[in-house]
């Protein structure tokens, strides 16, 4: 029986089924469609990272926040007398105007020894680094000299002299601070409104520090001024402990049992040691290195901007790495579809667009699997588990249309290579661009090689 000629509809359907260009167009369209759920994955990762940050803030709010130690700073009020002239009834009158100001003095020498005892608190699946610290401070001041401002000793309010030690979060003070001059212990008062306590009549005056410990010195005259102070402080905090170099020569020594510290701020340690059981670090900062003078009046300068110290890092970079991995989601989908297309063209098998969609969906679900597992076991282990599971799933499904075991093994091996390639890029942050560029160049070369004999137009030789 002779073959009946095909009608127009049947010929169009045959062209749709067999045309390589139509297949390429449909694969490209499916890839674009799959970009929509891929963008949702990145939003999901950002939402989980935001939830982790909220957990850290919640725990910190109950324990104590990040701490910055400012001080010690010596504050002594004084009265300034100025002459003022005015005319009254044709006569020039002279008046004396008195105003009260605050003089601030920084120590000549400032040494700190700090021992940090970290802990890990849990809020659901999230970990938060907190610490207890024992801080010992020694400060040496020069005898306050008001001659710079032409103020005689009689106008200095020695009885109102105080020592200020700034502390970011007063809830972290776990024991009464011990502040001594020699063997004499002084009375201290913790306050969160230092500026208003010192000068209650000037509510617009900027605070030297937001909160801290104010110590009354009890001096009567210039002869009572003592230069050497010792301060013992037990302080709790979360994640970060910073110091401010108030001394003309500042030496900070910090140690703690934490294997992954980060030394941050305006100055790096002069020496440091990091090992599995802890760390030690020493900073040395001179007055030449900082942007403020050793003494000033009222609002002339601020101490902010020169903080440095240690941050207790928890190796929980799964969100950052998951975000970077998700950015390569389109590349994985494109490479997988390209491999399937080449296998379809070279081996004459038929793969339905719906089968492409299911494989693409599996490659996208991979990222939610990676994110959820990484929150439990870390990124590296999660990457291995998610990659193996997805490769096995896609390979088993592909076995329904890739009939030959050799082709299935080739497809599975290529998927493994793709995931290994992405993992190497993620781990090698400094060389990720170089490795990625070389890898993609090699992939393009292989695609050119394996597609060189394809008859794209279906013409007969």
Contact 231, 178 (CB under 8 A): yes
Asked if residue 78 and residue 44 are part of one domain, the reply reads: no
Closest CA to 186 of 205, 168, 213: 213
Where a domain ends, among 249, 279, 314? 314
Asked if residue 387 and residue 260 are part of one domain, the reply reads: no
**pLDDT number for residue 248:** 92
Asked if residue 350 and residue 273 are part of one domain, the reply reads: no
Mean pLDDT of the chain: 82
- Partner residues linked to 388 by β-bridges: none
Helix (H), strand (E) at residue 422: helix 405-427
Q: Coil, strand, or helix at residue 367?
A: helix
Asked if residue 394 and residue 276 are part of one domain, the reply reads: no
Domain that holds residue 84: 66-314
**pLDDT number for residue 389:** 93
Asked if residue 27 and residue 105 are part of one domain, the reply reads: no
In a domain, 422, yes or no: yes
Angstrom distances, CA of residue 181 to CA of 167, 228, 233, 285: 20, 6, 15, 24
pLDDT grade, residue 106 (50/70/90)?
very high
Closest CA to 245 of 226, 267, 218, 221: 267
In a domain, 1, yes or no: no
176 pLDDT above the threshold of 60? yes
Where a domain ends, among 262, 291, 314? 314
340 pLDDT above the threshold of 80? yes
What integer is the mean pLDDT of 120-127?
78
Angstrom distances, CA of residue 335 to CA of 347, 361, 455: 18, 14, 21
276 pLDDT above the threshold of 90? no
**pLDDT number for residue 194:** 53
In a domain, 4, yes or no: no
CA distance 280 to 158: 40
Domain count, the chain: 2
Closest CA to 236 of 120, 117, 58: 117
Asked if residue 169 and residue 288 are part of one domain, the reply reads: yes
Asked if residue 272 and residue 343 are part of one domain, the reply reads: no
In a domain, 197, yes or no: yes
**pLDDT number for residue 458:** 59
CA torsion through residues 61, 66, 68, 69, sign = positive
What integer is the mean pLDDT of 134-144?
92
| Lowest-confidence pick of 56-65, 108-117, 146-155, 175-184 | 56-65
- Quick: pLDDT tens for 347-373: 777 878 788 888 888 888 888 898 888
CA distance 389 to 412: 12
Half-sphere exposure of 240 (CA within 13 A, CB side): 19
What integer is the mean pLDDT of 290-305?
84
Q: Coil, strand, or helix at residue 312?
A: strand
372-379 contacts: CB < 8 A, separation 24 or more? 374/318, 374/321, 374/322, 375/48, 375/125, 375/318, 376/125, 378/315, 378/316, 378/318, 379/317, 379/318, 379/321, 379/322
Give Cβ neighbours of residue 25 (< 8 Å, ≥ 6 apart).
Answer: none
Closest CA to 217 of 196, 178, 186, 191: 186
- Quick: pLDDT tens for 187-216: 887 766 554 334 333 443 445 677 889 988
- Quick: pLDDT tens for 52-102: 778 777 877 788 889 999 879 999 999 988 777 666 666 666 777 888 899
**pLDDT number for residue 300:** 75
278 pLDDT above the threshold of 60? yes
What integer is the mean pLDDT of 272-301?
89
| Higher per-residue confidence, 9 vs 392 | 392
Asked if residue 382 and residue 440 are part of one domain, the reply reads: yes
Asked if residue 91 and residue 48 are part of one domain, the reply reads: no
Where a domain ends, among 288, 314, 340? 314
pLDDT grade, residue 459 (50/70/90)?
low
In a domain, 21, yes or no: yes
**pLDDT number for residue 457:** 62
Asked if residue 248 and residue 118 are part of one domain, the reply reads: yes
CATH classification at residue 103: 2.60.40
**pLDDT number for residue 128:** 84
Closest CA to 386 of 409, 414, 365, 412: 365
What integer is the mean pLDDT of 246-257?
94
Share of the chain above pLDDT 90, in %: 23
In a domain, 60, yes or no: no
In a domain, 390, yes or no: yes
**pLDDT number for residue 92:** 64
Asked if residue 213 and residue 117 are part of one domain, the reply reads: yes
In a domain, 6, yes or no: no
Asked if residue 281 and residue 389 are part of one domain, the reply reads: no
């Amino acid at each position: 029986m002779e073959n009946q000629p095909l009608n127009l509809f049947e010929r169009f359907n045959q062209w749709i089924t067999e045309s390589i260009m139509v297949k390429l167009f449909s694969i490209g369209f499916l890839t674009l469609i799959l970009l929509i759920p891929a963008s949702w994955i990145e939003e999901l990762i950002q939402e989980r990272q935001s939830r982790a940050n909220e957990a850290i803030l919640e725990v910190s709010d109950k324990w104590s926040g990040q701490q910055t130690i400012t001080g010690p700073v010596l504050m002594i009020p004084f009265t300034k007398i100025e002459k003022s002239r005015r005319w009254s009834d044709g006569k020039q009158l002279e008046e004396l105007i008195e105003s009260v100001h605050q003089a601030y003095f920084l120590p000549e020498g400032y040494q700190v020894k700090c021992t940090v005892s970290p802990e890990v608190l849990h809020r659901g699946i999230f970990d938060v680094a907190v610490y207890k610290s024992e801080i010992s401070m020694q400060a040496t001041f020069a005898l306050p000299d008001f001659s710079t401002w032409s103020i005689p000793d009689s106008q200095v309010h020695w009885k109102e002299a105080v020592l200020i030690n700034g502390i970011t979060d007063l809830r972290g003070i776990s024991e009464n601070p011990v502040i001594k001059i020699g063997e004499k212990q002084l009375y201290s008062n913790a306050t969160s409104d230092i500026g208003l306590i010192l000068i209650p009549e000037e509510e617009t005056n900027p605070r030297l520090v937001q909160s801290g410990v104010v110590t009354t010195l009890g001096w009567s005259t210039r002869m009572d001024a003592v230069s050497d102070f010792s301060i013992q402080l037990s302080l709790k905090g979360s994640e970060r402990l910073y110091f401010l170099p108030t001394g003309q020569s500042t030496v900070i020594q910090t140690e703690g049992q934490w294997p992954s510290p980060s030394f941050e701020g305006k100055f790096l340690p002069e020496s440091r040691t990091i090992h599995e059981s802890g760390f030690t670090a020493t900073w040395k900062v001179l007055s030449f290195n900082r942007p403020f003078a050793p003494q000033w009046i009222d609002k002339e300068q601020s101490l902010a901007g020169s903080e440095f110290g240690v941050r207790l890092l928890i190796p929980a970079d799964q969100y950052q790495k998951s975000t970077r991995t998700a950015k390569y989601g389109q590349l994985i989908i494109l490479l997988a579809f390209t491999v399937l297309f080449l296998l379809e063209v070279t081996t004459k098998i038929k793969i339905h667009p719906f089968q492409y969609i299911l494989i693409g969906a599996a490659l996208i679900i991979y990222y939610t699997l990676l994110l959820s597992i990484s929150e439990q076991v870390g990124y590296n282990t999660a990457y291995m588990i998610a990659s193996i599971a997805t490769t096995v799933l896609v390979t088993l499904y592909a076995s329904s249309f890739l009939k030959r075991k050799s082709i299935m093994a080739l497809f599975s091996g290529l998927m493994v290579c793709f995931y290994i390639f992405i993992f190497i890029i993620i781990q090698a942050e400094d060389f990720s661009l170089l490795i990625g560029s070389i890898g993609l160049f090699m992939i393009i070369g292989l695609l050119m090689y394996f597609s060189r004999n394809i008859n794209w137009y279906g013409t007969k030789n």
